[in-house]
Structure 1
Amino acid sequence: MAPFVFVIPVQDFDVELLPLAARVSGSPEFRQAVVERITREYEPFTDRVEVEIDDQTITVTAWPKEAGIDPVDVGIAQLQDGDLAGGAQTLEALVTAQPMNPAILFNLGMAKSDLNETADAIRYLARFLTVVPGHAGALTALGLAYFRSGDIGNSLEIMQKAVDADPANGYAVRNLGGVLASQGRQAEAAPHLIRAAELLPEDLRALYGAAQALQERGDDDSMTLADTYLKRIIDLDPRSDIAEEAR
């Protein structure tokens, strides 16, 4: 079965993934730790992995266990297992060879945003939207990346586009309301926050945002509904930080 091969520049390898004693690039400890980590990460998906390291590059050659396995799936699986840095690194190694692959661009953009590497996140998500225009999930993620970068103007513009693209996308609606609220625009935020709780009845953040908006209104019906949302948060996840706030 043919292997897949990709190359990572040594300078781009995330040393935070390695033990403290192995973080000096080029050292014997670094080389050994890189080989061990990559081999371990790919073991579930491959029969054999070879890792070659020189002063400039890390070359990974992997023979998949099953015919037709896609190395992109390896990177996505890493992300799903909570290894954001490792998954992002795998996908970023592949994006050079597949620069318009939507699965790579979307997942890599999301991971980069969560890693607070917002410039990279914006670049990959914007490129994804040239391949899949109007995708509400990607627009929401792009708006969030702009927000995390401090660019509120672009964040609001993109979030509104996400809601326009899919008014029933609860995450788009919730995030638009959240960005507006963060800027003190409570009256504009309230309808979005309340709508998000209707669309996402088990999402703690949506419920809490709606409860706050309803409390701001202050009338009896709004306060009663706010209490209902706060009690639901406590019932859904009584040990969460949001549940403590709800109490």
Structure 2
Amino acid sequence: MKTLSLSFLLVIFLSACATIPAVNGPEALPEGHPSVAAHPGSGQRGTTTRQSEAYTHFIMGIIASGAGRRDEAILDFERAAKLDPASDTILMELLKLQLDAGRKDDAWETAQKVMKINPDRAEIHTFIGRTLAEKDEPAAATEHFKRSIELDPESITPYILLAETYEKTGDWEKALGTLKKLAAHENHSAIAYYYMAQIQARRGKSGESLMFLKKAIERNPSFLSAISELAKIYEKQGSPDKAEKLYRGFLKTNGEETSVRQLLVHLLVKEEKFETAKQELKIILSREPGNSNALLMMGLVNAQEKNFKEALFFMKKAKVLAPSNYEITMEVGTLQRKLHRYNEAIKTFGEAALLAPKRYEPHFYIAVVYDTMGNRTEALKHLQTAISLEPGRTSLIAFKGQVLADMKRYDEAITLLEEGVKKKPGDSSLLYQLGIVYDRRGDFSKTEEIMRKIIKMDPSHHDALNYLGYSWAEKGIHLDEALKFVKRALDLKPGAPYIMDSLGWVYFRLGRYTEALKYLLKAEGGMSKDPTVLGHIGDTYRKIGEMDKAVEYYQRTLKADPDNDRIRKELRKLGQSPAGQ
């Protein structure tokens, strides 16, 4: 059984209005064309020059339409209709193209002509009913839909449009009753149940909606739209296993349906079943090596697993296949940045900027890369471009303040951030960066004031809690309050390595070295090359008398930060020389 996709459900009814005639004999003339009984060479009488010309333009219109030359086809059908105004077949072809071109008024005029010639064409009643419904004339629309159903009971579209019209007027029972009549036709029951499910969902009757979706799938196990809808409901209900089972059941009999396998992949990624997701993506790529979406997903899944080299391999392949895809280009640049391929990343983000000239993100990430490289002049230049594209985005202002502070241009940074705070006084990101800049300028009392203000505004601001608690620990003041603040920060962001380092350092300052070591070692798990964390661990081992361990961590600290004079002094106190000296 062929798959029914959502795009099939509302196929414009006019697509089947007329059969394209062949051009090799009298039998090719469309039924209803006056020239059927009078085509030259047919051996029948009654041919006129006008009818022959009409037929010629009709065939030329069919050929032009098939070749995608819509405007040319419309002209040919208009000429044919003028030459043979009694042919409803010509008018129906013209009507289809007028609709396709968005010429609704012309289409309406053509439809009226068809009605006069042949009022028993079901599809013309459907068109008129649809138009009247759009004009908010439901009573007249329903009569035409009903007449269309009488003339062609097997046509799906008038049932659906009639049900929608009843629904818009609030007559739910008639809407459902219309679809029940459609469901009585065995071949159309799946679609009928699907639309009944949609109506019940809009009524807020989720149980009935679920029931009708299941019925639709029972009638047609390959009904993709119903399966996709039901799977989404299962996900919302917190039953992803049911959604997965549904997709896999479909794929057993429709294994070639890539779109469903991609839906399954998205579900698996949400559930963090990355290996299983990759297996499904491999199946897609084995059949469709050029599927850029599958390559993109394979890259994203590998990136989630922090397999950045593998992720970049797939992303680059996707980019080759879709060179003008902005999102893929940005992903490639992001992976290059994570792999410290900074010059490549700058080039790639530059390509993204050309693809989307009004997007600020490429310029922002170029600034981030330059800042990472220590080239803050270039960082500022690109950051300013980003701000010009998104002047109200506070994260850009905050980052510019940080870059200016890194350049020791503290007054400029403070002016910039304070102006931002005046415009958005409740923006904690600007306040937070402002507090940091004051600290770096040496005005900790101002920093303390700002951080307390942030915490009062937003008690869940874990970064402000952590910053203030750690700063107090560094200064050896307010240690009890520091402990309380940092614990709150860790409760708000469990497992954050930098907060665990802060908590360990507060315990160190309190002289609770065993507890300090516990959290500092946990912090190392997420920041194994961070010189601050390594130095703190070395200090703690020294305090508890494990000098070998202290030396080991001090040496590792110097490897990560060769210019750390404090650690050099600590090593010398322990009678050790820094590694390599």
Q: If the TM-score is normalised by the length of the shorter chain, which range does it land in?
A: 0.5 to 0.7
Deviations along 1:70-118, whole A, 9 cap, x unmatched? 4213322333444333322210222223222211111111221122111
1:91 aligned residue (297, 315, 319): 315
The residue aligned with 2:381 is 157
TM-score by length of 1: 0.62
Provide the aligned C-alpha RMSD in A.
3.9
Partner of 1:241: 498
Alignment of 1:34-45 (within 5 A): 43-45=276-278
Q: Does 1:49 align with 2:282?
A: yes
Moved more, 188-197 or 166-175: 188-197
- Structure 1 segment 116-155 matched on structure 2, within 5 A: 116-155=340-379
Name the structure where helix makes up a greater proportion of residues. 2
SS of the residue aligned with 1:44?
helix
Q: In the superposition, relative to structure 1, how do residues 198 and 45 fare at CA in structure 2: closer, same or farther (>3 Å)? A: farther
Aligned-residue offset at 1:162: 1.0
Residue pair 2:405, 2:413 contacting (<8 A) in 1 also: yes
| TM-score scaled by length of structure 2 | 0.29
1:61-76 aligned within 5 A? 61-63=285-287, 70-76=294-300
* Mapping of residues 152-191 of structure 1, within 5 Å: 152-191=376-415
Looking at structure 1, the residues matched to 349 and 292 of structure 2 have their Cα atoms a distance apart, in angstroms, of 27
Q: Determine helix, strand or coil for the equivalent of 1:96.
A: helix
Q: Deviations over 1:197-240 (max 9, x none)?
A: 96863x6xx66532122444849776522333478422673365
Look up the match of 2:46.
none
Give the 3-state SS of the residue equivalent to 2:321 in structure 1.
coil
User: Which structure 1 residue ranges, 5 or more long, are not aligned?
Assistant: 4-39, 51-59
CA distance in structure 2 between the partners assigned to 1:85 and 1:173 by the alignment: 32
Cα 1:217–1:95 change in 2 (3 A) is same
Which of structures 1 and 2 has the bigger CA Rg? Answer: 2
Question: For residues 186-225 of structure 1, what are the structure 2 equivalents within 5 Å?
Answer: 186-193=410-417, 195=420, 201=428, 208-215=432-439, 216=441, 218=443, 223-225=448-450
**Higher RCO, 1 or 2 (CA under 8 Å, sep at least 6)?**
1
Any idea what SS the aligned residue of 1:62 has?
A: helix
- Secondary structure of the equivalent of 1:79? helix
Query: For 1:22-80, what per-residue CA distance to the aligned partner results, in whole angstroms no more than 9, with x for missing partners?
Result: xxxxxxxxxxxxxxxxxx97741554738xxxxxxxxx94348xx99542133223334
- Which residue matches 2:451? 226
Aligned-pair identity (%): 14
Which deviations, in whole Å up to 9, do the C-alpha atoms of 1:163-221 show, x marking residues without a partner? 121123233222212211111111112244564896863x6xx6653212244484977
Alpha carbons 2:274, 2:301 under 8 Å: kept: no
CA distance 1:150–1:62, shift in 2 (3 Å)? farther
Q: Distance in 1 between matches of 2:312 and 2:292?
A: 22
Contact 1:163 1:172 in 2 (8 A): yes
How far apart in 2 are the matches of 1:134 and 1:237?
37
Paired with 2:346 and 2:320, the residues of 1 have a C-alpha distance of 17
Name structure 2 gaps, 5 residues minimum. Answer: 1-255, 259-272, 466-484, 491-495, 507-581
Partner residue in 2 for 1:23: none
Secondary structure, in 3 states, of the residue corresponding to 1:108? helix
Decide which moves more: 236-245 or 178-187.
236-245
Alpha-carbon distance in 2 for matches of 1:143, 1:109: 13
Task: Indicate if the aligned counterparts of 2:401 and 2:417 stay in contact, CA closer than 8 A.
Answer: yes
Task: State the distance in 1 between where 2:415 and 2:305 align.
Answer: 35
- Which structure features the higher share of strand residues? 1
